[in-house]
Amino acid sequence: MLNTKVMSGWMSSAVALGLLASSGVSASAEEVLNIYTSREPGLIKPILDEFTKETGVKVNTIFLSNGLEERVRSEGQNSPADVILTVDIGRLQAAKDYGVTQPVKSAALEKVIPAAYRDPEGHWYGVSMRARVVYASKDRVKQDKITYEELANPKWKGKVCIRSGQHLYNISLFAAVIAHKGEAKAEEWLKGLKANLAKKPSGGDREQAKDILAGVCDIGIGNTYYVSLMRNGKDEEQKKWGEAINVILPTFEGGGTHVNISGLALAKYAPNKANAEKFMEYMVSDDAQHLHAEANSEYPVKQGIKIHPTIASFGELKADTVAIAEIAKLRKKASELVDKVGFDQ
């Protein structure tokens, strides 16, 4: 059992979910599973509840919006973390690079998850996908197709909105551009995109839709699931933002639509390894894939699972075939290019 002093430290910086006891977290009992996650609590709770219902394994969850990998590394061999559940290839790869994961060899995972969405050495596995797409004004943009390359075309000068170029979602997209076009051409493309910006990069993906409604710009770049959250949420203002835009699924010339993943990894010193592997395999079951797709408005990695109606309305996703692991290797170069061209300035 962890002492109350350690538990107090956790509670000061994290939100405890599920059946996390105030007196401590069991790090060794076979009937528990300890998950460290950067996913919003409300989005994953239905999945965790169903896992407990099916297996009888009690799930303890620590939510950390930032610094998850650092936390696990600082805890070292005493870490109670069994599973790391997070978003974006950058965070998954960071967990591996920090040395806080261990490889998993699972026929169940490999059968369901395409090779492009898992680490070649088994350190992380993608369990859902989101596409980085174009938000287009319903009133001012008439075309329904676009390439990522076209975003740098002068025809869009002063008409593009985007969040910070250094945000992990954009870094992954820019890394994908490098993968397709090489570093030199990616730099020219990034300069062209910057020249087309209507304003300094700022806000989140939802704010790009807000600015389109306000007439600040005609197109924005954002993730697919935010549109569903805006249109189907309770915030009336955000509903207006979501309804003001059409979603265009861009493609690379000779390629597909850039996708990123939400995924998980087995913690290096997982005290409940058997339960952790059981949970990882559960996450690619039909029930879990459906719950995940429904709750998070993401694309399931498993074929044949029904997609959230709002996401399905965007049209058929033809995902790019560049492996996520290859994109992860280019993220540092992408970040350097953002600074080099002064994208956020």
Residues in the annotated binding site for Fe cation: 225-226
| Binding site per annotation, positions | 225-226
Instruction: In whole angstroms, give the CA distance from residue 135 to residue 140.
Output: 12
Q: Are 295 and 44 in contact (CB under 8 A)?
A: yes
Phi-psi category of 319—alpha, beta or left, where left has phi over 0 and alpha has psi -120 to 50? beta
Instruction: In whole angstroms, give the CA distance from residue 39 to residue 41.
Output: 6
- State the DSSP H helix or E strand holding residue 34, giving kind and residue range, or none if neither: strand 32-37
CA 269 to chain centre: 24
Amino acid at site 113: I
Pairing between β-strand 58-63 and β-strand 101-102 as defined by DSSP bridges:
unpaired
Instruction: In whole angstroms, give the CA distance from residue 266 to residue 338.
Output: 32
**Nearest Cα residue to 128 out of 247, 227, 224:** 224
Amino acid at site 183: E
Render the burial of 230-240: b for 16+ CB within 10 Å, e for the rest.
bbeeeeeebee
Instruction: In whole angstroms, give the CA distance from residue 44 to residue 46.
Output: 6
Dihedrals phi, psi of 63, to nearest 5 degrees: -100, 125
Q: Who's near 292: CB < 8 A, 6+ residues apart?
A: 47, 127, 128, 262, 283, 298, 300
SS3 247: strand
